[in-house]
Amino acid sequence: MNKIVRDHYPAANLPEDLRQGLEKDATVRIVIEEESPEHTDVYPGFGGLSSIRRKPMTAKEAVEAIKRYKAEGRPSVSSEDAVARIRQLRDEWDD
């Protein structure tokens, strides 16, 4: 994605619709960013936070991702162990 930034740009050089509300001799900072099609959807109410679209994984890619995850040696945790750990962490704050 391309981005152009100009600091201290004379407002007088801007097109008329962009000069509205600015003093004649003001200087402005201009940031121009090219929109990419994958970032045009915006979540309403989140200050312009763009959604990020990703291509779904194929079955082969999913299997490879699982293999990579398991190869990292992360231990499997039972739901009872997970609940016990969460309760232990939660109870630390009760002191």
Task: Specify the residue for token string 């407002």.
Answer: 11
Q: Which amino acid is at 19?
A: R
Distance CA 10, CA 95 (A): 60
pTM of the shown model: 0.37
Q: Report the chain's mean pLDDT, rounded to a whole number.
A: 82
Query: How confident is the model over 9-46, as pLDDT tens digits?
Result: 999 999 988 889 999 899 999 999 887 665 555 555 55
Q: Is the pLDDT of residue 59 over 80?
A: yes
Q: What percent of the chain has pLDDT over 90?
A: 36
What is the maximum span of the chain, computed from C-alpha positions, in angstroms? 68
Q: Are 32 and 9 in contact (CB under 8 A)?
A: no
Q: Which amino acid is at 22?
A: L
Question: Which phi and psi (to 5°) does residue 88 adopt?
Answer: -60, -45
DSSP annotation of 53? -
Q: What is the pLDDT of residue 50?
A: 55
Tokens linked to 69: 């995850």
Distance CA 58, CA 29 (A): 44
Q: Is the pLDDT of residue 84 over 90?
A: yes
